[in-house]
Amino acid sequence: MALFTKKISAVKVPHHKNTAALASVVAPPPPEVLIPTNMQSGDACVPVVSVGDTVKVGQVIAKAGGRNSVPLHATVSGTVTAIEPYKLTGRAAEAIRIQSDGKMERDPNLAPPVVSDLDGFLQAVNDSGVVGLGGAAFPVWAKLDAIRKNPIPTVLVNGAECEPFITSDHRMMLEHADWIKKGIELLKEYLHSEEFIIGIEKNKPDAIEHLTQFFAEDNTVRVMPLESVYPQGAKQVLLYNATGKVVGPGQRLASLGVIIINVTSLAMVGRYFTDGTPLVSRSITVDGSAVSEPKNIEFPIGTPISYVFEQCGGLKNSPRKIIYGGAMMGKTVTDLNAPVLKATNAILAFGEEDSKKKPAAPCIHCGRCVEACPLNLNPTEFSHAMEIDDEDRRAEILTREQVSLCMECGCCSFVCPAHRPLAENNTAARGFIRKYNAAKKEGGK
Ligand code: SF4
Ligand code: SF4
């Protein structure tokens, strides 16, 4: 087994935290929003509004659609103008288009939920529409639901924010410690968790100091400074570095008595229970060499990327690369009409110079990619496997080498002196094995 047979590796990436000192601002409402029904990692939501309906901010526009789903809310006030097919990261679903009336009128029914037991609490977290806001988009209620099978004495609050450029969690920790506190109080009350570790990389000393002082009177909360290395915020890495625990292949984190929750996700749950606002907007970092005025700025979910850039002084030049999320793990976007999603913590745009890929050279078998992998995987084996035409043999090797564990962190590509596209290959290999196994399950293999 590859996993954790030696220390957990990490790489030093340039931080580029250019927006860390800039207080978050709120953008004026965009003319329209496009809200995909499959923004969370579970099943797509089912629209409950029709074209022509008028909606207010926070009103439910789509109900949870099955496994690991959460409802969607209107993020602007206005009129539903379309419910149209929409493909998001390869998954076909629908999207609800709302033309804004510019008023941002709140649904008058919004109020902090009143709950008295675990069922009511989990239902309210579901109703909040909050998902993993660090990028995973896994519904928070479904994560907390693990309490039904395992006691969860320890909650690891992920404030590492190890990706270059992104500072939205950093600003959340500085600007809304009250919401984080509310989230912690709720988990204490309903999950009976006893220990809260807020892991923050040392490159955010102001956040470490602020939260340490904020929670000084609460001996259940510990702010833990972590080395500024990538991928410090990855589940397995953070768990090991903060608690010394290791989650094995296929093992659920909760079975170790731990859950990890992104700090902004926790804050948004806290906010919902404070003022009744479901997840209708979020602050994102907008940065990169093609952005005129990098900043942290809050937009309604569904805001088109073109409007995001407009609110950041426009683009300096025609960008060569636009990314949802971080420079290491983010996904390239080609459509400027694509919307801000729930899990979009940053939108980066880079000019020609910063987007150039160095040409790949043959592998020199230096082993650096293996050395750099936090999970001790062997990306060169994945590459070799992907060159094999026989799909059964390819699947056998990828399974043996545990490609499904790869978290696509990109450390292997980052260190490769031959500039081999290892991370892209890993993504393709994971996609192949997913499809292969699904076909096998259905009897097609
Ligand atoms: S992308 Fe996958 S193989 Fe490469 S370093 Fe990260 S976990 Fe390891
Ligand atoms: S780091 Fe690059 S050159 Fe070195 S072994 Fe890995 S793929 Fe080959």
Ligand 1 neighbour 398 (Cβ under 6 A): no
Say if CB 16 and CB 287 are below 8 A apart.
Answer: yes
Q: How far apart are the first and last CA of the chain?
A: 26
Q: What percent of the chain has pLDDT over 90?
A: 83
pLDDT at 234: 92
Q: Return mean pLDDT, the chain.
A: 93
Res. 6: pLDDT tops 50: no
Q: What is the mean pLDDT of residues 399-410?
A: 93
Ligand 1 neighbour 242 (Cβ under 6 A): no
Give the whole-angstrom CA distance, residue 365 versus residue 416: 10
> Residues lining ligand 2, CB < 6 A?
363-369, 380, 416-418, 420, 422
Q: How far is the CA of 364 from the centre of ligand 2 (A)?
A: 6
Ligand 1 neighbour 40 (Cβ under 6 A): no
Q: What is the mean pLDDT of residues 371-390?
A: 94
Q: What percent of the chain has pLDDT over 70?
A: 98
pLDDT at 444: 55
Ligand 1 neighbour 409 (Cβ under 6 A): yes
Q: How many angstroms separate the Cα of 176 from the Cα of each of 23, 64, 147, 276, 281?
A: 11, 28, 26, 16, 15
Residue with tokens 């329209």: 32
Say if CB 288 and CB 165 are below 8 A apart.
Answer: yes
Domains of the chain, earliest start first: 118-275 (3.40.50.11540), 368-441 (no CATH)
Res. 1: pLDDT tops 60: no
pLDDT at 217: 97
Of the pLDDT bands very low, low, confident and very high (cuts 50, 70, 90), residue 215 is very high
Task: Report pTM.
Answer: 0.94
Rounded to 5 degrees, what angle do the CA atoms 373, 264, 241 make?
35
Q: What is the mean pLDDT of residues 59-86?
A: 95
Residue with tokens 């896994």: 138
- Mutation choice for ligand 1 from 6, 373, 398, CB with most ligand atoms inside 8 A: 373
- Mutation choice for ligand 1 from 426, 430, 433, CB with most ligand atoms inside 8 A: 426
